[in-house]
């Protein structure tokens, strides 16, 4: 069953990488076309006599118009491909953070205070995002007032971020928590 889950988890990532590869190829084609269009436009602009010589004026104007229009369209397409690639990267990063274990998320948020934060969270909630004791909920068992002030959410990332805000506001002290990292 574990192998099946790994395969199923890998499929969206593989599809995303194929989509990114396709977008990357599109972007490369767009950038090549942009370069060519700019070269033609620059050539005609630096050889203005082509636009005035009756032998070359009509084809030169046509080429200038054609490459100017195509350049504008291709610039838009390239920008869309860039944005989509950036968006896909952001989505993958967010998905990786949300899929991370509570331990990994706490360490990512608390940085050098990772071990202390893990000890507090283990004691407060046994690293369970759904832990509840009266008004105290989540990984760090924050009360209603603290959640209102520092934030809250169902994910380990939202809860760890809120607890970190509270931790920093408390002077990087574990004083507000019942559990201490050294006990």
| Domain end marker among 45, 78, 99 | 99
Q: Please check whether residues 31 and 89 belong to one and the same domain.
A: yes
Determine the Cα–Cα distance for residues 183 and 180; give it in Å rounded to an integer: 5
pLDDT score at 17: 54
11 pLDDT more than 60: no
Same domain? 156 vs 91? no
- CB of 145 closer than 8 Å to CB of 155: no
What's the CA gap between 118 and 182, in Å, rounded? 11
Q: Is residue 79 part of a domain?
A: yes
For 112, which DSSP code? G
Tally of domains within the chain: 2
Cβ–Cβ under 8 Å, residues 23 and 81: yes
List the domain range (segments joined by +) for residue 121: 102-169
Residue 60 shares a structural domain with residue 90: yes
Instruction: Give a yes or no: residue 60 inside a domain.
Output: yes
The most confident of the ranges 5-14, 19-28, 73-82 is: 73-82
3-class state of residue 128 by DSSP:
coil
Question: Which residues lie across from 87 on neighbouring strands?
Answer: none
pLDDT at residue number 141: 97
Break the chain down into helix, strand, coil percent, rounded to 5: 75, 5, 20
pLDDT (average), residues 154-182: 94
177's torsion region: left (phi>0), alpha (psi -120 to 50) or beta?
A: beta
Query: What whole-number distance in Å separates Cα of residue 81 and Cα of residue 73?
Result: 13
- Chain segment 106-151, per-residue pLDDT in tens: 998 999 999 999 999 999 999 999 999 999 999 999 999 999 999 9
Query: pLDDT of 15-69, one tens digit each?
Result: 455 577 888 899 999 999 999 999 999 999 999 999 999 999 999 999 999 999 9
pTM of the shown model: 0.51
How far is it, in rounded angstroms, from Cα 100 to Cα 156?
9
């Amino acid at each position: 069953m574990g192998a099946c889950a790994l395969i199923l988890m890998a499929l969206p990532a593989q599809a995303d990488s194929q989509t990114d590869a396709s977008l990357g190829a599109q972007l490369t084609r767009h950038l090549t076309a942009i370069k060519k269009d700019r070269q033609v436009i620059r050539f005609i602009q630096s050889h203005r006599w082509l636009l005035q010589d009756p032998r070359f004026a009509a084809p030169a104007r046509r080429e200038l118009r054609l490459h100017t229009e195509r350049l504008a369209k291709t610039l838009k397409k390239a920008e869309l491909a860039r944005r989509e690639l950036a968006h896909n990267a952001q989505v993958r990063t967010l998905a990786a953070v949300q899929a991370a274990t509570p331990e990994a998320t706490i360490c990512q948020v608390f940085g050098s205070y990772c071990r202390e934060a893990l000890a507090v969270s283990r004691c407060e909630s046994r690293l369970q995002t759904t832990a509840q004791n009266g008004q105290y909920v989540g990984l760090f068992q924050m009360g209603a007032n603290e959640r209102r002030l520092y934030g809250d959410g169902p994910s380990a990332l939202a809860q760890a971020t809120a607890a970190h805000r509270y931790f920093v506001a408390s002077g990087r002290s574990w004083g507000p928590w019942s559990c201490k990292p050294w006990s």
